[in-house]
Structure 1
Amino acid sequence: MKQQEAAPFTVDIVGSFLRPDSIKEARKKLAAGEIKPDDLRKIEDEEIIKLVAQQKAVGIKGVTDGEFRRAYWHLDFMEELNGIEGYKPEQGYNQTFKGAPLPAYDVRIVGKLSFPADHSFIKDFKFLKDTVETEEGFIAKATIPSPSMVIRQEILAKIGSSLIDEIYPEREKFYQDLVLTYQGAIQAFYEAGCRYLQFDDTNWAFLIDAEKRKSLVEKGMNPDDIAQLCTDIINQVLTAKPADMVITTHICRGNHASAWIFSGGYEPIAEQLFATNYDGYFMEYDTDRSGGFEPLAKWRPESGKVVLGLITSKFPELEDKEVIKAKIAEATQYIPLSSLCLSPQCGFSSTETGNKLSEEDQWKKMQLISAIAEEVWHS
């Protein structure tokens, strides 16, 4: 049996890979004024070309640039949106990881939202597409934070004062501009040739976590209402998706230097999550913190594929192939095998720091995924 042709693929990835030492050193030199931005970009280009070849070699069809040009999986994109700026808050980042602190950097709203015509991610994608799509059977995949991340960063998890009430005294207008901003992003990526786009989203995990849900209630907010709001906004954004474009999402519980933020099963948000009109759902299932497969019962036949993140990207130890195959079989109690795929639970380097494993380890993980997929879907 041939590899599935439509994304998401049976062997897929969330997006990021460990940054090569050459990029890390070049960034240090740039910060010290020893090289120019164009020098860094040339090094990034060279490393992305190598990464593309490595991904193809292990059977990845939806190929990313490893997020090599970013410091963070989300903030780099968000701070380039009109109306948002990046800054260094005195009190540090607005979320606390279990195991490793995140550098003190955040984003905040400073004006009306819209998508800029010169957003650097579009230029970056064009380079990736030109590099990837020289061979038939491979497609360039772009990854950006979900629109609901703007809601969480600005409203749900903000430390201190926010300008949102001053800029958007009518909250509904903020939501409308957020939708238009992301519809603009979809159109810009599409015009750049992107046919596989992913919205990465830790907001669903925020709404899963019992402690976070309690904190919202204490602030006078209903977590279920917020989940429904996110579903509504995402679906409004997705009305701009062209028919020949695939847009997926990744639900993440936090990923920085092998540390995490949120814990809990998908039960609290499963209904609202599967009511979104994505073409695929990358769902973390690498530890007991993710709960069981029972929430997959909310999946609908018309929903997109579910990509099981059963292989951890946080640590080097390889999973037992038979254990993973048994878990895939368990998931088929709720979703047919033809609508399931396999991937790491998250990226290997959601921030430029990277998780606690080597480049050799990450490729062993991907080789394991390919081997399992060959036996489960293609034998």
Structure 2
Amino acid sequence: MSKVPFRFDQVGSLLRPEQLKKAREEFAKGTISKEELTKVEDAAIIKVIEQQKEVGLKAVTDGEFRRRWWHLDFIAGLNGITVYDFETTAFGLTTQAQGTYVSGQLSFCELHPFLEHFAFTKEHAGATLAKQTIPGPNMIYLDSFILSKQYHENPAYQTKEAFVADLIETYKQAIQAFYDSGCRYLQLDDTSWGGLFDERFRGLITQNGYNPDELIQEFGDITEAVLADKPEDLAVTFHFCKGNFQSHWLYNGSYDKIAERLLAIEQFDGFFLEFDDERSGSFEPLKNIKDQRIVLGLVTTKTPELEEKEALKKRIQEAAEFVPFEQLCLSPQCGFSSTHEGNKVTEEAQWAKLRLVVETAKEVWEGA
């Protein structure tokens, strides 16, 4: 299959090599310059692009090697956003984290560093398709607006509607900017939808004056508006998992509440969805799919144990009871390093899992 998403694909982030982790620590201490850190990043990205090609992937990323967080670095580069530090226990472990809140009028920055980052990836990808990942718009809506204590204490907008209009315009401009930079495969990573079915987060949303059931419709409306003017030859996919921080997760619950609205977003070429354990629930919610593709996240990035190929094939057949077989694809359930620290897997296990995805897909789908 030559169209995005591919029969065998990946979410985006990859484990940071030790040399890069060390350089980032040295930069934080002030012992190396930004330019020296960038040189280390450049070399690591060039190498990881070649490693992805060797595995056989049809789309490569920069592994998100220039990021601290899978989502925050992009959001922090927008106008009207403030970043703050805090301590969290949300993922089952106590750790230092960062958050964002809307502190002024939201807009896209024409000099957003991700544009330059993508140009570098595309250059070194050569004839291979370069994939760009960014957080979806509802990440900002939920975390930096609806649930943000800082925002509610000092709101930057008189109405929610005014904020939503700026959020949509910001993302429209971002999508066009990546397209103008040569991007033809863009992925919106948007875990915020998990807050709409997780009971604890539904409670928090309600406490902040919002109805989580109404937000399901609104999240879909915002996403459709963001994609309304996307170029015809730009493939856009959606990725969702229930959180992925050093092999820990955030949300609990099944896709039942969100599937009908989410899978109705026809501007997406495909949906990367997590199905690596019993927490994911059954494949039945996938019956809501239209003509888009479902990328089954059957290979976990949270643990190093390699899945059995036959077990993966059986799971694909189970999913085919609800989604036409020709609309199915295979990938890991998430990235391997949603944050700089990475999951509790080795680089050897990472590449073994990606090879498994490629090999399994080629055996399942003729011409993959």
Q: Which runs of 5+ in 2 are unaligned?
A: none
Question: Are 1:56 and 1:63, in contact at CA under 8 Å, matched by a contact in 2?
Answer: yes
Paired with 2:203 and 2:32, the residues of 1 have a C-alpha distance of 48
Per-residue deviation, residues 343-375 of structure 1 (Å, max 9, x unmatched): 100000000010001000100101111111111
Tell me the residue number matched to 1:271.
260
Question: Are 2:12 and 2:63, in contact at CA under 8 Å, matched by a contact in 1?
Answer: yes
The one of 99, 106, 110 equivalent to 1:117 is 110
Identity within the alignment, %: 46
Tell me the residue number matched to 1:212.
201
Paired with 1:283 and 1:318, the residues of 2 have a C-alpha distance of 19
The one of 357, 360, 365 equivalent to 1:372 is 360
Paired with 1:161 and 1:40, the residues of 2 have a C-alpha distance of 32
Amino acid at match of 2:167: L
Tell me the residue number matched to 2:139.
149
Deviation at 1:166, TM superposition (A): 3.0
User: Partner of 1:189: helix, strand, or coil?
Assistant: helix
Tell me the residue number matched to 2:188.
199
Paired with 1:12 and 1:84, the residues of 2 have a C-alpha distance of 32
Paired with 2:253 and 2:9, the residues of 1 have a C-alpha distance of 24
148-157 or 250-259, larger mean C-alpha shift: 148-157
Question: Are 1:110 and 1:163, in contact at CA under 8 Å, matched by a contact in 2?
Answer: no
Paired with 1:164 and 1:191, the residues of 2 have a C-alpha distance of 38
Number of residue-to-residue matches in the alignment:
366
Does 2:41 correspond to 1:47? no
The one of 277, 286, 305 equivalent to 2:276 is 286
Deviation at 1:219, TM superposition (A): 4.2
Tell me the residue number matched to 1:312.
300
Question: Are 1:154 and 1:164, in contact at CA under 8 Å, matched by a contact in 2?
Answer: no
Paired with 1:83 and 1:162, the residues of 2 have a C-alpha distance of 11
Tell me the residue number matched to 1:331.
319
The one of 113, 116, 119 equivalent to 1:126 is 119
Does 2:286 correspond to 1:321? no
Paired with 2:123 and 2:94, the residues of 1 have a C-alpha distance of 37
The one of 266, 275, 285 equivalent to 1:295 is 285
Question: Are 1:11 and 1:59, in contact at CA under 8 Å, matched by a contact in 2?
Answer: no
Per-residue deviation, residues 190-223 of structure 1 (Å, max 9, x unmatched): 0000000000011111212123223433444221
Question: Are 1:165 and 1:171, in contact at CA under 8 Å, matched by a contact in 2?
Answer: no
Tell me the residue number matched to 1:97.
91
Tell me the residue number matched to 1:223.
212
Deviation at 1:164, TM superposition (A): 8.0
Does 2:70 correspond to 1:73? yes
Q: Kindly report which structure 2 residues correspond to 1:335-346, keeping only aligned pairs within 5 A, or say none.
A: 335-346=323-334
Paired with 1:66 and 1:101, the residues of 2 have a C-alpha distance of 26
Q: Which runs of 5+ in 1 are unaligned?
A: none
Q: What TM-score do the two structures reach when normalised by structure 2?
A: 0.96
User: Partner of 2:150: helix, strand, or coil?
Assistant: coil
Amino acid at match of 2:309: K
C-alpha spacing 1:291/1:156, structure 2 compared with 1 (3 Å): farther
